[in-house]
């Protein structure tokens, strides 16, 4: 069974850092891209950062210069290093994979990990 396992969320003070990890396990036969989305209370889910299997990245304007996405293609794991965190970064962060499992290609999601930035 294909599964996305997330870790690294928690409570941090403004200006602090967190590192999120997401591993794609199970029956992902091909992964085109991996990334992170977030959803704050009362808001729609939005893209934070994404990286393709070949390397190009895409960041939300609000996190450029503060967040860095990277991946280990061999282990099908994606990371999000978050520095200089702000209260407005508070949200549930979801790992996302654009890939193929059991012959089906589509977008797959993790269950999310809470990030809270507060003093």
Q: 87 phi and psi, to 5 degrees?
A: -55, -35
Of the candidates 32, 29, 6, 15, the one whose C-alpha atom is nearest the C-alpha of residue 98 is: 32
Give the confidence band of 118 by pLDDT, cuts at 50, 70, 90: very high
The two tokens of residue 59 are: 């960041």
Q: Is the pLDDT of residue 2 over 80?
A: no
Residue 94's contacts (CB-CB under 8 Å, 6 or more residues apart) are 6, 36, 37, 38, 39, 45, 109, 110, 111, 112
Q: How far from chain centre, in Å, is Cα 57?
A: 12
Instruction: Kindly list the distances between the CA atom of residue 84 and the CA atoms of 81, 92, 113, in Å, as whole numbers in the listed order.
Output: 10, 18, 19
> pLDDT by residue (tens digit) across 32-48?
999 999 999 999 999 99
> pLDDT by residue (tens digit) across 97-115?
999 988 789 999 999 999 9
CB 51 within 8 A of CB 36: no
């Amino acid at each position: 069974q294909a599964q996305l396992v997330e870790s690294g969320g928690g409570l941090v003070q403004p200006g602090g850092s967190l590192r999120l990890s997401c591993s794609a396990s199970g029956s992902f036969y091909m992964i085109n891209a991996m990334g992170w989305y977030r959803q704050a209370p009362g808001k729609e889910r939005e893209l934070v950062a994404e990286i393709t299997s070949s390397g190009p990245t895409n960041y939300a304007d609000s996190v450029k210069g503060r967040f860095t996405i990277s991946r280990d293609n061999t282990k099908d794991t994606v990371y999000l290093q978050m520095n200089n965190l702000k209260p407005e970064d508070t949200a549930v962060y979801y790992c996302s994979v654009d890939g193929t499992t059991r012959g089906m290609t589509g977008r797959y999601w993790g269950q999310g990990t809470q990030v809270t930035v507060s003093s």
